[in-house]
Amino acid sequence: MKQFVVTANTPLRLDQALAQGVELGRRGRKALIEAGRVLVDGRPGTKGQTVAPGQTITIVPQNVRPLPQPWLVSRKGPWAAVAKPPGLPTVRGRTPGSLEEFLPSLGLEGWLLVLRLDTPTSGLVLAVQDQSTMERYTRWQGEGRIAKWYLAVVTGSLGAPRTITATIDHSRHPVRVFAQADPSPLRHTHIWPILQTPEATVVLVRIAKGRRHHIRAHLAHLGHPILGDSLYGQGDGALMLHHGLIHCPEVTAALGPAWPSWEAALRNIPAHALPDSFPGPWPLPKSTAEKT
């Protein structure tokens, strides 16, 4: 790993600043940035970014997997919907690289994330411009006016809609699910099967107020863990869980999953197979900025 401090007298574009530390032409420097191998003060650098004297640039080795890149899905007033790819943490952790750190490069400097997705989960994350909008969101969530819709592929055959009311103990890792019902309906998980195959079922899942591993633990408790969930099931590979639509009083955002082997089947699901309460378009739209 190569690291150096920018010594220019004035701010430079990132590709220009790279010339101080790497012997590559302009195309080579831009390729490093586009591959996600350039960090600025520990955060992923972006094309066209300006760096100031004294900032530290790190070149990540080629054999280190670059961070998956999020993108802006929509923006309306103080609300923005951002697509989080699988493998990217939602918030800052001990090591560089998270959706939160990408916000400035998406034009959302100073914005606040209002929900989290597990690192292997893909899909929509809402961001708000200010604290007052955050407070409105929190109030609506407590009133049950927020609906979060997920797509999941689960093992086995799930033939009818179900509601899981079991209480989840989040004090443990993995979380534990108890038989007794959670007294708050906001913590319940509503499930609709929309596509059956011999070995798996595609389900729509709606929650109002989720917590860590909420859907993953509830589906495993039902006996239908999500494909690819090595923590609560037996699967290997990608976790087949995607946050596809969020609906609240001031904004609705939707984004389909990047599941190539399921895309055609999902596109052809008839409207009558969807629950009446589903508020969005079908099939879920795919962003033109999507990166796989």
Which pLDDT band, with edges at 50, 70 and 90, does 157 fall under? very high
For residues 236 and 127, which has the higher predicted lDDT (pLDDT)? 127
| CA-wise closest residue to 97 among 31, 18, 47, 37 | 37
In the chain, where are the structural domains located?
2-59, 71-127, 145-273
Distance (Å) of CA 166 to CA 49, 115, 250? 48, 22, 31
Q: Which fold has domain 145-273?
A: Pseudouridine synthase (3.30.2350)
Question: What pTM value is reported for the model?
Answer: 0.79
Whether 289 shows a pLDDT value over 70: the answer reads: no
pLDDT digits (tens, 9 = 90+) for 39-94: 887 777 877 788 888 888 888 887 766 678 899 999 999 999 999 999 899 998 86
CA gap 92, 73 in Å, rounded: 21
CATH of 2-59, one of 3.40.640.10, 3.10.290.10, 3.40.50.2300, 3.10.450.230: 3.10.290.10
Q: Percent of the chain at pLDDT above 90?
A: 61
Mean pLDDT across the stretch 194-223?
Answer: 94
| CA-wise closest residue to 291 among 3, 10, 34 | 34
Which pLDDT band, with edges at 50, 70 and 90, does 31 fall under? confident
Contact 114, 134 (CB under 8 A): yes
Mean pLDDT across the stretch 33-42?
Answer: 81
The distance from CA 231 to its chain's CA centroid, rounded to whole angstroms, is 18
CA gap 239, 236 in Å, rounded: 8
- Give the range among 41-50, 133-142, 210-219, 266-275 with minimum mean pLDDT: 41-50
| CA-wise closest residue to 118 among 204, 217, 260, 8 | 217
Which pLDDT band, with edges at 50, 70 and 90, does 155 fall under? very high
| CA-wise closest residue to 128 among 108, 156, 142 | 108
User: How do beta strands 200-207 and 241-248 pair?
Assistant: unpaired
Whether 14 shows a pLDDT value over 60: the answer reads: yes
